[in-house]
Structure 1
Amino acid sequence: MATIKDVAKYSGLSIATISKYINGGNVLEENRQVIQDAIDKLGYKRNEMARGLKTNKTMTIGILIPSLENIFFTTIISIIEDTLLEKGYGMIVCDYKEDTELELKKLEFLINKNVDGIIMVSYSGNHEYIKGLIDKKIPVILLDRMVRNLDCDVVLADNLNASYQAVEELITRKHKRIGIVCGPENTYTADERRKGYIRVHQDYHLEVDEALIYNGDYSVESGYKALKDLLNIEEPPTAIFVTNYEMTIGTIMAINDLSVQMPNDLSLIGFDNIQLAKIVKPSLSIVEQPMKDIGKIAAETILRRLNDDYDDFPAVYRLKTKVHIKDSVTILQ
């Protein structure tokens, strides 16, 4: 098996230069090509176990999310992996099924695996445990949900304005009774989207009817039930905004089962997945989150922290969303 000394001898460059290149450092462009040619020719592979013993690093990042069935989180994980792989890092991915006790157990599992850092979505908001990790110089990047009373790097969508803009699109089309299907009351993301819904009503001097606010649990089943329950209230909504992908699927299933005609009977704005928006007929209006940017920024931020770059700590990246209005929304007369 080829060693770093063999690569140095073959390329005519120093071991220090070879090592710098292998570990993601900056080297002259002409040297990069020479080194890579030598690596390819000799079949050199870095011994991560030996490197870990020397540097006390495992070159792995722990990923902790609420559910592996959630397309939003799995898409972001895929983007994160692409960026980390470029720098020689692998991942250990765990989910905790929206269970606060399981979240802590899985977090401890990742720490016991000696991961170099954590990228996570926190459901419990256990700021003391996370703060303990940060104090030990274990980088933690929060995704999607902030944790109150905690100085920590966060990458998320601008959830309040995402909701505001979606509901505003309905209001400007003369809808006054607008339902919203939110997530659990105790989650930061759901709370922000609920705030956006309330704020836009206030700005347009519309009364907020609590009967039109439905708290689901981010599952397909809760989206299905939400649609049925909202349409069964005494004065049902003319439009509904659904605030995550899985619940959007559930509402569409209920619309089909109940033979509700979009947009004549009900206007609908869903969340995420442009592909779904194109498949559904009539074409579905959606709020699109910048999943690629979220994943890339999260990965780049943890890599900077692993290189002891804390100049901007704690960094909060609140990224803009886009509202795509399609045929599922109508203008009331």
Structure 2
Amino acid sequence: MEEKAKRVIKTRLEDLAREANVSKATVSLALNGNPKVAAKTVELITKLAAEHNYTPNSFARRLSKRTSETVSLFMMGKATEYSGWLIPSSWLFYNPIFKGVSLTLSEKHYQFSFEFIDLDGKKRENNIISHAQSSSADGLLILIIDESDYSFLESLDAFLPIITINKKLSDTLSSFEIDNYKGTFDVVNYLATLGHRKIAHIGGPFHAYNAVDRFNGYVASLKEIGVTFREDYVVEGDWNIESGKDGMKTLLNLSEPPTAVFCANDHMAIGAMEAVEEAGLTIPRDISLIGYDDTEMSRVVRPRLSSVSQPLEKLGRMATNEVLRRITAKSAPESKKHVVLPPLLVKRDSCCEPSR
């Protein structure tokens, strides 16, 4: 059976070569997209291949090109510390990125390998280097979510294309991220234009990169619009609904509670809504509320939650296209790409002018 399959492939390849009046090697090069083959010849061979329903063996194609046509995506964190990895709110953030990566690779006929690395420090570095050296992957996509030291990736990028997602690590590694500062500034500025000056923040865990970035954006935005920063208006959450509820209770119990609250994700905002309702207050009449991520729940709760939408699938697609471009180029570019995509504030029904 195996020998028969080989004869079928060989015969069909010879048929294409004979009809195109070229060698079998030229047919193989043309079907593998080798630039040395003339455009007219490629067009003829492609047409004949379609007429014969000829599909080149993908495994043989990879061997001939000395590539695996595989891209690996690494997610890194420690599950016991980064509880956010294990809750639905985090996967609502990551899933669109995965979708963008997976769809783009599928469209380009590449395989997608995924690995979660539950390690810290030097163990993490050794694991990534070991994987890169032993793996057949042609390139790496690395999703950054913390403030760990990833400087070792710079030397690794010299022989394996590496693209970081969600954070720029250095000028020497290409990166794709969302502008957290702009998203946060748009929120604070919008609340200020409504007349709010007592603007509080329920943030994510302060060891998480996005949480720190949004907190820093919140502080800088307050300063930019001339509103005094108050430490008692900042509560640390853990991305989960319950932490948002607890955070809002803390804020409502202050002697001078805020008139508006910005939550670092929608899940915590939903918890905050529950705390407001239990306190006998109404959103937005008594307190305005804004979330982040613009998840489906922000559109179905009542009142509908204002939130910040992020182009996460686009982020995954762009990062994947760049790693594929690097793979095809076969050499590192002189300058790296650093792309920052803008988020969008979606205004719904959860904000209004302050009543006090």
- Please report the TM-score for the alignment, with normalisation by the length of structure 2: 0.79
Q: In structure 1, what is the equivalent of residue 139 of structure 2?
A: 117
Q: In structure 2, what is the equivalent of residue 130 of structure 1?
A: 153
**Conserved 8 A contact 2:266-2:307:** no
Which of 33, 57, 70 does residue 60 from structure 1 map onto? 70
Which of 206, 219, 223 does residue 202 from structure 1 map onto? 223
What is the correspondence of 1:212-291 to structure 2 with a 5 Å cutoff? 212-255=233-276, 260-291=281-312
Q: Secondary structure at the match of 1:132?
A: helix
Q: Which moved more, 1:224-233 or 1:197-206?
A: 224-233
What is the correspondence of 1:133-152 to structure 2 with a 5 Å cutoff? 133-135=156-158, 137-147=159-169, 149=170, 151-152=172-173
Deviation at 1:312, TM superposition (A): 5.8
Q: Which moved more, 1:160-169 or 1:53-62?
A: 53-62
Q: Which moved more, 1:254-263 or 1:66-75?
A: 254-263
**Would the alpha carbon gap of residues 140 and 222 (structure 1) be closer, same or farther in structure 2, given more than 3 Å must change?**
farther
CA distance in structure 1 between the aligned counterparts of 2:220 and 2:343, rounded to whole angstroms: 17
**Would the alpha carbon gap of residues 262 and 51 (structure 1) be closer, same or farther in structure 2, given more than 3 Å must change?**
same
Which of 100, 103, 114 does residue 93 from structure 1 map onto? 114
**Conserved 8 A contact 2:31-2:46:** no
**Would the alpha carbon gap of residues 195 and 33 (structure 1) be closer, same or farther in structure 2, given more than 3 Å must change?**
same
**Would the alpha carbon gap of residues 228 and 92 (structure 1) be closer, same or farther in structure 2, given more than 3 Å must change?**
farther
Deviation at 1:297, TM superposition (A): 0.8
Q: In structure 1, what is the equivalent of residue 105 of structure 2?
A: 84
CA distance in structure 1 between the aligned counterparts of 2:12 and 2:343, rounded to whole angstroms: 50
What per-residue deviation string (whole Å, max 9, x for no partner) do you get for residues 278-298 of structure 1?
211111101011113211110
Q: Secondary structure at the match of 1:206?
A: coil
Alignment-mate amino acid for residue 244 of structure 1 = N
Deviation at 1:152, TM superposition (A): 0.8
Q: In structure 2, what is the equivalent of residue 9 of structure 1?
A: 15
Unaligned runs of 5+ in 2: 77-84
Q: In structure 2, what is the equivalent of residue 316 of structure 1?
A: 338
**Conserved 8 A contact 2:16-2:27:** no
**Conserved 8 A contact 2:16-2:49:** no
Number of residue pairs the alignment of both structures matches: 327
**Conserved 8 A contact 2:101-2:317:** yes
Does residue 71 of the first structure (1) align with residue 71 of the second (2)? no
Alignment-mate amino acid for residue 120 of structure 2 = T
Q: Between the two proteins, what is the percent identity of the paired residues?
A: 23
Q: Which moved more, 1:284-293 or 1:67-76?
A: 67-76
RMSD across aligned C-alpha pairs, in angstroms?
A: 3.1
CA distance in structure 2 between the aligned counterparts of 1:176 and 1:229, rounded to whole angstroms: 18
**Conserved 8 A contact 1:131-1:150:** no
**Conserved 8 A contact 1:220-1:247:** yes
What per-residue deviation string (whole Å, max 9, x for no partner) do you get for residues 241-295 of structure 1?
1223443444345455556422123211111235322211111101011113211
CA distance in structure 1 between the aligned counterparts of 2:27 and 2:64, rounded to whole angstroms: 18
Deviation at 1:167, TM superposition (A): 1.0
Q: Secondary structure at the match of 1:95?
A: strand
CA distance in structure 2 between the aligned counterparts of 1:4 and 1:83, rounded to whole angstroms: 32
Q: Secondary structure at the match of 1:91?
A: strand
Larger radius of gyration: 2
Q: Which moved more, 1:316-325 or 1:240-249?
A: 240-249
CA distance in structure 2 between the aligned counterparts of 1:265 and 1:307, rounded to whole angstroms: 57
Does residue 303 of the first structure (1) align with residue 324 of the second (2)? yes
CA distance in structure 2 between the aligned counterparts of 1:7 and 1:258, rounded to whole angstroms: 75
Deviation at 1:160, TM superposition (A): 0.8
- Please report the TM-score for the alignment, with normalisation by the length of structure 1: 0.84
Does residue 326 of the first structure (1) align with residue 336 of the second (2)? no
**Would the alpha carbon gap of residues 186 and 206 (structure 1) be closer, same or farther in structure 2, given more than 3 Å must change?**
same
CA distance in structure 2 between the aligned counterparts of 1:103 and 1:219, rounded to whole angstroms: 26
What per-residue deviation string (whole Å, max 9, x for no partner) do you get for residues 68-89 of structure 1?
7521211111111111112221
Q: Secondary structure at the match of 1:128?
A: coil
